[in-house]
Amino acid sequence: MNRRYDVVVIGGGPAGLGAALAALDAGTESVLVVEREPEAGGILRQCIHSGFGLHHFKEELTGPEYAERFVQKAIDRDIDVVPNAYVTGLALDSDDTRLVRVLSERDGLSTIECSSVVLAMGCRERTRGAIRIPGSRPAGVLTAGLAQKMVNMMGYLPGRRIAILGSGDIGLIMARRLVLEGCDVVGVFEILPYSNGLTRNVVQCLDDYGIPLHLSTTVAEIHGRDRVEAITVAPVGADLQPDMSKAWRETCDTLLLSIGLIPENELSQSIGANLDLVTGGPIVSSSMETSLPGVFACGNVLHVHDLVDFVTEEALRAGRFAGQWARGVRRPPDTVSLVPGRNVRYSVPHTLSPDRPHTIYLRCKERMQPCVLRVGDLINKKLSFVVPAEMIRLKIRPSLLDNFYGDRLTIDIDPRD
Amino acid sequence: MATETTSYTCISCPIGCPLQLEHEVDTIREVAGNNCDRGAKYARQEFTDPRRSFSTTIPIAGALHRRLPVRLSEPVPKDRILEAAQRIHLLSAEAPIRCGEVLLRDLLSIDGIDVVACRTMLPLE
């Protein structure tokens, strides 16, 4: 590790590695990736199922295979990766120098100078505290992703008889995974009337193994003193409150939570980057630059994606602009803000410029079919259906803004006949 | 002979098309509901010989982590998944292992179904 780099990337998952490679492609000389774990690759290393890479590599890979391709490219391109390391602070010194405080097992505490920074810290899982399940606090209540790491990397089973709250894809995939490891999975409980995961995961992870999916049902209480002994589950009404008159008890020793992800932005907040209250990630321009000049962001730290392929796409963009910044390129500020409207929960990036093509990522608030996606009066795109669990990706040609003289475009999703 | 319809959800990609397969006893007449050729292929396969692929892990010695992720080169018959997983769990490995290395050939004595490492694991220095 040197004292000075063109670009420092915080996080060595798919977002960070993609950004680091793109920064080199943009003509920078040196890139440092700061990684918390003992090796780069990120959460993909524990996602051993296949289904990754269909867009980016045009073939179906497992998570470790997708990660390894990027790690190998980083090695081939001489990107410095400092493992077992944290960024404890970031200061904006002058226009051309940023100071990054890195605490690592290998080098202790050090200060790295650089021109631009890419935030790629990913996200973390919501825990029991986020949904306040009543009951005692025994061992055996853990997030699905932690269980995934225990089973797939560390070689421990989290328990023998498992219940899963939340039907996100990680929960569904862990249901199958634990059955293959010889556990009993008593059921998946989802508070909403539909699954939060992909339909194909309901089919190949639950239906194939006869694991029941209880929709409109939640965990109303956790029982057990030292270890989980049982849970009380109950159907919910329209107000999403459990109807205890219809509650029943499920015996289990483990409760996995698959109840959503939160972008990991403590560092972004501590340095004063403006955050979007809906995504939980930084507000970014069309060059993926945060409100702090020369600080860029991409991947799940920005907004939670469902496909790593789109993380890579976004990271390549952020890395390219971070690399250009390090080479002294300064772009004029974007001229058009993009505002979520009817049935749009959020959209990223938050502003656009008329000088180049853009890719917009957005999510709807509720399921709608068939529908039409509108961007101001400029785009009317028919969609057969939208669901909150699936991110919508919209490409915008530069010519679209040729005859637009406003400073604000609203995105709406409306029903159509 | 009466035509019957069996419904499937395609698992070939994240879209998950709802498929309807029309058949007279064992003879397939038509597949509907698919957005692409993979859907039609999936429905036919599912009707005649349903198969699934899966990943699991085996113990590895001398590496950074204690488990090595492995996948199948080709899917196994759906009703033999657990048997296949149990067979794979008898395997163990020692670093170094290269991504793509074959750890077991002809799983369950089925020609061409191999167990493949899906990451590289170097020996600890």
- Tell the burial category of A278 from Cβ atoms under 10 Å away from its Cβ (0-12, 13-18, 19+): middle
What integer pLDDT is reported at residue A196 of this predicted model? Answer: 84
A114, A6 Cβ separation under 8 angstroms: yes
A317, A300 Cβ separation under 8 angstroms: no
Helix (H) / strand (E) containing A409? strand A408-415
| Rounded Cα–Cα distance for residues A143 and B57 (Å) | 20
> Which residues does chain A have within 8 Å of residue B107's beta carbon, measured at their own beta carbons?
none
Q: Is the pLDDT of residue B1 over 80?
A: no
| Rounded Cα–Cα distance for residues A298 and A312 (Å) | 9
- One domain, residues A31 and A118: yes
Q: For residue A378, what are its two tokens?
A: 């400029």
- One domain, residues A193 and A147: yes
What integer pLDDT is reported at residue A315 of this predicted model? Answer: 98
Domain stops at, among A201, A229, A259: A259
- One domain, residues A230 and A315: no
Q: Which of A143, A176, A154 is nearest to A49 (CA)?
A: A176
CATH code at position A382: 2.60.40
Confidence of residue A296 (pLDDT cuts 50, 70, 90): very high
> Which residues does chain A have within 8 Å of residue B78's beta carbon, measured at their own beta carbons?
208
B91, B97 Cβ separation under 8 angstroms: no
- One domain, residues A368 and A269: no
- One domain, residues A266 and A119: yes
Domain stops at, among A215, A241, A259: A259
Partner-chain contact A48 B99, CB within 8 Å: no
| Contact status of A152 with chain B (Cβ, < 8 Å) | yes
CB count in 10 Å sphere of residue A351 = 20
- Tell the burial category of A49 from Cβ atoms under 10 Å away from its Cβ (0-12, 13-18, 19+): buried
> For B70-100, what is each residue's pLDDT tens digit?
999 999 999 999 999 999 999 999 999 999 9
CA-nearest residue to B118 within chain A is A65
Partner-chain contact A65 B54, CB within 8 Å: no
- One domain, residues A117 and A154: no
A358, A314 Cβ separation under 8 angstroms: no
The rounded percent of chain B whose pLDDT value lies above 90 is 79
What integer pLDDT is reported at residue A389 of this predicted model? Answer: 82
B→A interface, C-beta within 8 Å: 9-14, 16, 52-57, 59, 64-67, 69, 71, 78, 81-82, 85, 99, 118-120
What integer pLDDT is reported at residue A30 of this predicted model? Answer: 96
Q: What is the mean pLDDT of chain A?
A: 95
Q: Which of A2, A267, A268 is nearest to A111 (CA)?
A: A2
> Which residues does chain B have within 8 Å of residue A197's beta carbon, measured at their own beta carbons?
none
- One domain, residues A255 and A131: yes
- Domain range for residue A388? 338-415
Q: Is the pLDDT of residue B63 over 80?
A: yes
> Which residues does chain A have within 8 Å of residue B57's beta carbon, measured at their own beta carbons?
48, 151-152, 155
Q: For the sheet with A230-235, list strands across it.
A: A217-223, A230-235, A248-251
Q: Is the pLDDT of residue A267 over 70?
A: yes
Q: What is the DSSP string of B19-53?
A: EEEEEETTEEEEEES-SSHHHHHHHHHHHHS-EE-
Provide the shortest C-alpha distance from residue B21 to chain A (in Å).
Answer: 17
| Contact status of A378 with chain B (Cβ, < 8 Å) | no
- Tell the burial category of A20 from Cβ atoms under 10 Å away from its Cβ (0-12, 13-18, 19+): buried
Cut 0.90: pTM above it: yes
- One domain, residues A246 and A133: yes
- One domain, residues A132 and A280: no
CA-nearest residue to B18 within chain A is A199
Which region holds residue A41: left if phi is over 0, alpha if psi is between -120 and 50, else beta? left
- One domain, residues A325 and A342: no
CATH code at position A191: 3.50.50.60
Between these two residues, A22 and A398, which has the higher pLDDT value? A22
Q: Mean pLDDT over residues A282-298, rounded?
A: 97
- One domain, residues A104 and A150: no
Q: In the A/B pair of chains, how many CB contacts fall below 8 A? A: 79
> Which residues does chain A have within 8 Å of residue B16's beta carbon, measured at their own beta carbons?
198-200, 203
Partner-chain contact B52 A204, CB within 8 Å: yes
Q: Is the pLDDT of residue A95 over 80?
A: no
A195, A215 Cβ separation under 8 angstroms: yes
Domain stops at, among A331, A364, A385: A331
Q: For residue A356, what are its two tokens?
A: 């180049």
Counting the structural domains of chain A, the total is: 3
Q: Mean pLDDT over residues A349-358, rounded?
A: 93
Q: Is the pLDDT of residue B14 over 80?
A: no
- One domain, residues A137 and A242: yes
Geometric angle at alpha carbon A16, from A331 and A156, rounded to 5°? 160
| Contact status of A68 with chain B (Cβ, < 8 Å) | yes
